[in-house]
Chains A and B, each alone.
Chain A
Amino acid sequence: DAGVIQSPRHEVTEMGQEVTLRCKPISGHNSLFWYRQTMMRGLELLIYFNNNVPIDDSGMPEDRFSAKMPNASFSTLKIQPSEPRDSAVYFCASRTIGQGSYGYTFGSGTRLTVV
């Protein structure tokens, strides 16, 4: 199994530009999570989906952030317009609902730098 796949690994963009981060969860997993990691705030949950449906997006910082999961094998996190304070590492994780805390796997993350 290739694990949770995120792309790109690194993204550098100018302030005001749209940024799209991508995630492919582990095949068979039906719960997907987007996290953001910064030095100041640590690891924060942004949003999670069960069976492609957004369940809790209370961690999304503001309307500039949006996430979609059009099918079971793909999710995007979009920032439009991007700002320097969005610079962080964004992690995607997936697992199977009903297994409690088992099988929770993180991707390698996307390091976003907004200049």
Chain B
Amino acid sequence: AQSVSQHNHHVILSEAASLELGCNYSYGGTVNLFWYVQYPGQHLQLLLKYFSGDPLVKGIKGFEAEFIKSKFSFNLRKPSVQWSDTAEYFCAVNADYGQNFVFGPGTRLSVLP
């Protein structure tokens, strides 16, 4: 069965610090990978996704993620965070174009002004 783990439960950074949120999945076949963000009081929104091709994916708001197949990882990065990036971030895997997604437990990011 697929599973997704996220390395950190809660990350606290100061503005302008660099961000990297870890995501690892367990599945040996073809996967589609996603990062979602949930701002306080709001619904989940798609940050970026990887289907195939260039393993370095750029998303909205300056976020990017790198798919490393050998490590089963899809880490999310941002060179310089802002206070408005305070949110919860979810990594998700969709395997072999299956019907549903498997979500990681989420990482809460707090950015201090």
Say yes or no: B97 contacts A31, CB within 8 Å.
Answer: no
- Whether B67 is near chain A, meaning CB under 8 Å from some CB there, is no
Contacts of B94 in A (CB 8 A): 100-101
Question: How far is A43 from B105 in the complex, measured between Cα atoms in Å?
Answer: 7
Interface residues of A in 20-55 (CB under 8 A from B): 31, 33, 41-45, 48, 50, 55
Q: A42-B105, A43-B106, A100-B32 are in contact. Are A91 and B43 (CB under 8 A)?
A: yes
Mark each residue of chain A from 50 to 90: 1 if its CB lies under 8 Å from any CB of chain B, else 0: 10000110000000000000000000000000000000000
The main secondary structure of chain A at its interface with chain B is strand
Contacts of A41 in B (CB 8 A): 105
Q: How large is the interface on B (under 10, 10 to 19, 20 to 34, 35 or more residues)?
A: 20 to 34
Q: Which of A42, A45, A107 contacts B100 (CB 8 A)?
A: A45
Contacts of A43 in B (CB 8 A): 90, 103, 106
Say yes or no: A56 contacts B90, CB within 8 Å.
Answer: no
- Least CB distance from B26 to A in Å reads 16
Of chain B, the residue at the smallest CB distance from A45 is B100
- Whether B83 is near chain A, meaning CB under 8 Å from some CB there, is no
Say yes or no: B106 contacts A101, CB within 8 Å.
Answer: no
- Least CB distance from A12 to B in Å reads 16
Say yes or no: A101 contacts B97, CB within 8 Å.
Answer: yes
Say yes or no: B99 contacts A104, CB within 8 Å.
Answer: no
Interface residues of B in 69-113 (CB under 8 A from A): 90, 94, 97, 99-101, 103-106
Q: A101-B49, A108-B42 are in contact. Are A48 and B100 (CB under 8 A)?
A: yes
Say yes or no: A106 contacts B106, CB within 8 Å.
Answer: no
Question: How far is A91 from B103 in the complex, measured between Cα atoms in Å?
Answer: 13
Say yes or no: A106 contacts B103, CB within 8 Å.
Answer: no
- Whether B44 is near chain A, meaning CB under 8 Å from some CB there, is yes
- Least CB distance from A8 to B in Å reads 14
Say yes or no: A55 contacts B43, CB within 8 Å.
Answer: no
